[in-house]
Amino acid sequence: MIRWLTALGLAALANPLRAETCRLALALAMDISTSVDANEDALQRQGLAAALVAPEVTEAFFSSPMPVALAVYEWSGRSTQRVILNWTMINTQADLLAAATTVQQSIRSDSSSATAMGYALAFGATLMQQAPPCLFQTIDLSGDGSNNDGYGPDSAYRHFPFQDTVVNGLVINAADFEGELYLIPFFENNVLHGSGAFLEIAQGFEDFERAMRRKLERELTGLQIGALQEGTRGQAPRKSTKHP
């Protein structure tokens, strides 16, 4: 908690006129493109719901005196983005449990669309504009494929407001390890955005819950002090960290 209080103090000094109500606005984006079958979609939803209430993640949510604002959306084709959980302030464990239940009970809106990653990021940037005022903003993009529909992440970053937003990634690696050859580098070079951005890797959808737990814990407890320093926003991300 002392580390968070230090970060909050630095943020106040950096911009004393802002009246933040939370420390982090976190938007979680789930891939529902055609490469994700029904069983994999269920593993993703149930895995995210379970990760949100895992003991280490629950502890991370409440590791600071300031709460987290949480939103969840699903994405695939150019016109297929849907909010599953609208912005919810996580003030109590009951709030977190209710958010996890909403994700767990959600129903997939589409199963036949391509992978429009640029549109998914653009949707996230627009959603972030509706978030409560927070010290930091993070979009968390999960996916099992690279962009194959419409403009790519680079165009989204050029034309939508990402200057104050970090984008982290979660690669769902194929069982044949094809992802090692192209998907991981694609996320590293095209998706990660902002100071301190990082990549987490799930070895298949069965590993999604574990990877999501790791990523959430890191996002919720990381200070992201670099975002407070003048001139750091919009720089190329640091080299991603790959967990076994």
Domain ranges for the chain: 30-225
pLDDT, position 239: 40
pLDDT, position 115: 86
Contact partners, residue 124, CB within 8 Å, separation at least 6: 27, 29, 73, 139, 141, 167
Higher pLDDT, 17 or 217: 217
Q: Summarize the confidence of residues 166-184 as an average pLDDT.
A: 79
pLDDT, position 52: 98
Contact partners, residue 230, CB within 8 Å, separation at least 6: none
Task: Give every strand in the sheet of 68-75, ordered side by side.
Answer: 81-90, 68-75, 22-31, 134-143, 165-173, 199-203
Q: CB of 42 within 8 A of CB of 86?
A: no
Res 90 pLDDT > 80: yes
Q: Which one, of 242, 170, 220, 225, lies nearest residue 56 by Cα?
A: 220
Single-letter amino acid code for the residue at 1: M
Q: Summarize the confidence of residues 41-66 as an average pLDDT.
A: 96
Q: Summarize the confidence of residues 153-176 as an average pLDDT.
A: 91
Per the prediction, the chain carries an average pLDDT of 84
pLDDT, position 2: 41
Res 122 pLDDT > 50: yes
pLDDT, position 222: 75
Higher pLDDT, 180 or 226: 180
Quick count: other Cβ atoms within 10 Å of Cβ 239? Answer: 11
Report d(CA 215, CA 219) in Å as an integer. 6
pLDDT, position 21: 83
pLDDT, position 109: 82
pTM of the model: 0.83
CATH 3.40.50.410 fits 30-225, yes or no: yes
Q: What is the pLDDT of residues 101-110, one digit of tens each?
A: 999 999 988 8
